[in-house]
Structure 1
Amino acid sequence: RPSYCPITNWFLKTHKTEESKSELTSKTGTSIAIGVVILYETHDRSILITRRLKSMRTFPNCWVCPGGHIELGESFLEAGTRELKEETGIVLDKNELETYEILTLWESAYPVDLAQGPPRRHHVVVYVHVRAKRTVDEIQLSPDPLEVNAYSWLNHEQLSKICDCKSLMLDEKFQAFVCDENSQYNQSEWPLDILAKADYTQTENLTNGTRWALTQLYARTLKEQLM
């Protein structure tokens, strides 16, 4: 586990007496939920990311890829497809995919910073990578303003700089479409270092799980290029 893991740190902080063991169980819960996230890649190699609302109970205002819970009887792809449609309006037909696969897993806990309290949400997140036959220009998004307050398409050059922020120039920007008070999404420029900079308090940046999954996807892409 990484040094910032809230589950480990809370355990080490409290696991000293029988009373504190009971406190750990009562405050963090005993169940681990399963979530699924879709890394949606277009034919021209752009990746869709979205920003969560400030009002959300976990990871508010953070950038993620579309995803959520799994309903009874759903496969990972079915759950991810449903969540993708609910959040962004993209209808994913299995027949239009060039490829799809389970890319990686991530153990997620929130809050990440113990200064905000003990972990209250604990998930294992399954990241499913899909590559569509459509390009960015062929896709019409209709995001749900109650779930998505901004979205962006990242190209692979931007992805490489997010994964290796040493090559990032301070003035580099990325294009995002941000929801206004009328639920309209307007294009604006944002500093790319918001996404490239790791911030383990998880304040308006990529979540750690999203960063991990994008890093794995970028590594996979480099490997494919060398083959």
Structure 2
Amino acid sequence: MAASGRILVYLKRKGHDKTPTIAKFTQSVLDYLVEDKSINQSEVYAELIDNHLVVTDDESESKHNSIKLRRPHFCPIHNLQKSHLEAIPEDILNRGIDVGAGVILESADNKILLTRRSKRLRTFPGIWVPPGGHLEKDETLIEAGLRELHEETGLKILPDQCVGGNVQMLTLWESVFPPKLTLGLPKRHHVVVYLYGKLNSDLTSDVLSERIRLQPEEAEACVWLDRKIIQGIVACKEEEKSQLHFKDLNLPEVVKGITIRDEDKKQLISDIPLQPLFNTSSDTTDGERVSTGTKFALGEWLIKTS
């Protein structure tokens, strides 16, 4: 772990490494663990050990079952050329790969909570994601995810409020900001651990909405989305250059959500336009949309709960 207290990724490749070693900022996690560099997804094992996340293809290194790790084909780290490496500042090159946790929270009435990141944030401003953030020293992944959920939305959820009494790992995503090299050189590199919890019968989206208190510096809007809307969002994939358009999906133009008013930071019940959530990333600009990693995690949720 770095002196700053950041929780970083360590890698161990079976038959290659005797012990896990800290991952370099410019090192693609997936490329390191699989021989075929054209593959964008693989089953791996992930374990939080001594304040770092060990990601490995070695089953003996983890107490958990295997989990999917994915990156987009346009991942900047995967596509780095020598000229890019030479242009990345030294302080960025020495950062390592950070660990984040995001919570796919399903209400008792089968809706998923997404938040829109503040436009003032340095990374992914204005992008729709589940609540989440960085780990702190000595936290578990679940503790970090639920803490971030509470800090960003005011919702204090305990594992025993979920079906089965637990929150579980859903999938891993290799995230880079900016998300494409055409938008600039990499500044941040994360492995995001998406967690999943289904809430017990009394915790419906209406009940929880009454308890939400958004933190304006982190989240400027939130909304509960049903399965049909989630299916449409997942179907609009940047990676496959989907030709699917929002107008073809027979969905409402707006859904009720919560926003923060710019002028006084007051929290309001508002109509949230759905169209922006179906946008895909561009090679030249990156406006309001659901993040690519979030779409992958939501797709895994659809599979898990089908």
Q: Give the TM interval when normalised to the shorter protein.
A: 0.7 to 0.9
Alignment of structure 1 residues 122-137 onto 2, 5 Å: 122-133=189-200, 134-137=203-206
How many positions carry a matched residue from both structures? 216
1:48-92 per-position Cα deviation (integer Å, ceiling 9, x unaligned): 111111111000011111001111111110001111110001011
User: Aligned partners of 2:85 and 2:160: how far apart in 1?
Assistant: 50
2:221 equivalent to 1:150: yes
Superposed displacement of residue 22, structure 1: 4.4
Give the match for residue 291 of structure 2: 207
TM-score, normalised on structure 1? 0.86
Counterpart of 1:88? 153
Q: Which among 81, 90, 94 is matched to residue 26 of structure 1?
A: 90
For residue 153 of structure 1, what is the amino acid of its counterpart?
W
In structure 2, the CA distance between the partners of 1:22 and 1:130, relative to structure 1 (3 Å rule), is same
Q: How does 1:1-227 map to 2 (within 5 A)?
A: 1=40, 2-9=72-79, 11-12=80-81, 15=82, 21-24=85-88, 26=90, 28-30=92-94, 31-99=96-164, 100-133=167-200, 134-139=203-208, 140-165=211-236, 166=244, 168-169=249-250, 172-180=253-261, 181-200=263-282, 201-222=285-306
In 2: Cα distance, 1:4 partner to 1:202 partner: 14
* Counterparts of 2:173 and 2:273, CA distance in 1: 26
Moved more, 29-38 or 174-183: 174-183
CA RMSD for the aligned pairs?
A: 2.1
Give, as a single letter, the amino acid of the residue that structure 2 aligns with 1:207.
Answer: S
Report deviation, 1:24.
Answer: 4.2
Residue 25 of structure 1 and its aligned partner are, at CA, apart by 6.8
The alpha-carbon deviation at position 27 of structure 1 amounts to 6.7
Query: What's the CA shift string for 1:107-134, capped at 9, x where partnerless?
Result: 0100123343200000000000011111
Gap runs ≥5 in structure 2: 1-39, 41-71, 237-243
Unaligned runs of 5+ in 1: 223-227
Rate the CA distance shift 1:120–1:3 in 2: closer, same or farther, 3 A. Answer: same
SS at match of 2:219: coil
TM-score by length of structure 2 reads 0.65
The one-letter code sitting in structure 2 at the alignment partner of 1:96 is: Q
Give CA-to-partner distance per residue, 1:96-155, whole Å, 9 cap, x none.
111421000000100123343200000000000011111112221111112111110101
Q: Deviations over 1:145-198 (max 9, x none)?
A: 121111101011211121235462376333332211222222333442321232
For the residues of structure 2 that align with 1:171 and 1:47, how far apart are their CA atoms? Answer: 17
Q: Is the Cα contact below 8 Å between 2:176 and 2:189 reproduced in 1? A: yes
